[in-house]
Structure 1
C-alpha cells in the first residue's frame, strides 16, 4: 500500500513540528508541513497530498477560506480542520460548509489523529460524529439543505452531499433524539 501523504498547514512552527514528530512512527504516513503564508495552494498543487491538516485560524486570513481554496483546487485532497480551542457549533457549521472530512481539537492525541487520517483515507467522514453530538448544528445543516431545495439550487454544489438516509438521521438528531432511538426507528445498528 502507498503511504498516505499528509500536509500540515499551521502558523505555529512548533505545532507543525510536533505533529510531524508525533506521527513520525506511523509507517503508513508521509509527512510534510507548511506555514499558511508560504503559498500552501501552490504546495498542495505540486505535492498532491492525500490529506491536509489545516489550522482554522491562520494569521492574515481565514482557515475556512484556505480550506475552500484547497477543496476547489484539489478536490481529491481530504481536509481535516483543526481548532485551537474546544469545538463549537458555529465553527463546526463552517467546517461542514468547507467540505472537511473531520473536525478536531489541536489537543487530540497522536494516536487518535492517526486513526482519523486513516478513516478519512478510507472514505469515512468522522465529522459526522461531531454533528451527531450537536443537535443545533444538525438542525442548521438540515435547514440549509431544505432552503437550497426550496430555492431550486442544485445540491451537487456541496462537496459531500447527504444521502436520503443521512438526511433522515440528521432530521432525527436535530429533533434531539438519541442514537438508540434513531437506530430503532430506522432499523439500523446504533453505530451506523
Structure 2
C-alpha cells in the first residue's frame, strides 16, 4: 500500500456512539471511513460495496455476531484486515476470533492514538498483539481452559501441512509459537535478521498464513508447541 493512498476503514458496531466516536477520531487523523454497519449482516454488504482495507468489527452484535462476520469477510476478501472490538479484556471469544483470521483486538475504551496506530499496523499485514501475549492467549483457549460459562473456542480445520516446510522452517515456526520476535529468532539461531525474515515469509507463504498470530495458532494446533513451553 502506497503512502499516498489513504487507508479505507469500515466501522461495525451496534452502538451508534461508538461508531460516531471512532469515525471522528479516524477522519481527523487522515484515514478514510468508507462506511458504518450495525451488525454482521450489514457488515458483509458494506465490505462488498466499499472494499475497505481494515474492518473494525464488534464481537457481540445482533443478527450476526462479529465472529461469524469475520470468518465470512476474510473468506471472501482475504486481502482485508479485521480488528475485533471488545468491551472486556481477554474476552472468552479471543481465541475463536484469532482462529477466524482476526489480526488483533482493541478495547472499546482505546485511546485515539492507539486506535489510529492499530489500524495502520494491521493494514501492513502485521498483527496487533505481541507474539508473547498471543502465545499465552492461545495456550489458554487452545487447551480448553475457558470458564464454565464461556463459549467453547472455534478451532481452525487441521489443514496445515508442515511437510511443506524445511527442517529450518519448522524450527523457526516452533520458535515463533514460543513468542520469539525476529530479533530473538536471529540471536537464537545465529542468523541475520534478514535471513530470519526470509524464513518467516516462506513459512507464511507455504502455510497460507496472514500474520504471526496465525503462525502461533498453527504451532499449537500442530503440536510444535505445548502449553507452558518457555512460558513467561
TM-score, normalising length from structure 1? 0.74
Question: How large is the Cα RMSD of the aligned pairs?
Answer: 3.3
**Number of residue pairs aligned between Structure 1 and Structure 2:** 171
Given that 1:82 and 1:103 are in contact with CA atoms closer than 8 Å, whether structure 2 keeps it comes out as yes
Q: Is the 8 A contact 2:86 2:108 kept in 1?
A: yes
The answer as to 2:174 corresponding to 1:167 is yes
**Native 8 Å contact 1:87 1:105 kept in 2:** no
The whole-number CA distance in structure 2 between the counterparts of 1:110 and 1:8 is 15
* Residues 115-151 of structure 1: CA deviation (Å, up to 9, x unaligned): 1111112221123x1x512544343688779x93xxx
Match of 1:30 among 5, 14, 32: 32
What SS does the aligned partner of 1:52 have?
strand
1:59, CA displacement in angstroms?
Answer: 1.7
Aligned to 1:160: none
The Cα of 1:104 is off from its aligned counterpart by 1.4
SS at match of 1:133: helix
Q: 2:127 aligns to what? A: 125
**1:37 CA drift (Å):** 6.0
Query: Which residue in the other structure is 2:110 paired with?
Result: 108
Cα distance, 1:181–1:114 mapped onto 2, change above 3 Å: closer
Deviation sequence 1:127-179 (CA, Å, 0-9, x none): 3x1x512544343688779x93xxxx3459xxxxxx64243231x34xxx9xx
Q: Alpha-carbon deviation of 1:182?
A: 7.2
Q: Distance in 1 between matches of 2:113 and 2:189?
A: 33
Equivalent runs, 1:34-183 vs 2, <5 Å: 34-36=37-39, 39-88=42-91, 90-127=92-129, 129=130, 131-133=131-133, 135-139=135-139, 148=158, 153-155=159-161, 164=170, 165-170=172-177, 172-173=178-179
How big is the shift at 1:3? Answer: 1.0
Query: Quick one: distance in 2 between partners of 1:141 and 1:74?
Result: 26
5+ residue gaps in structure 1?
157-162
Give the conservation status (yes or no) of the 8 Å contact 2:67–2:96: yes
Distance in 1 between residues matched to 2:175 and 2:82, nearest whole Å: 25
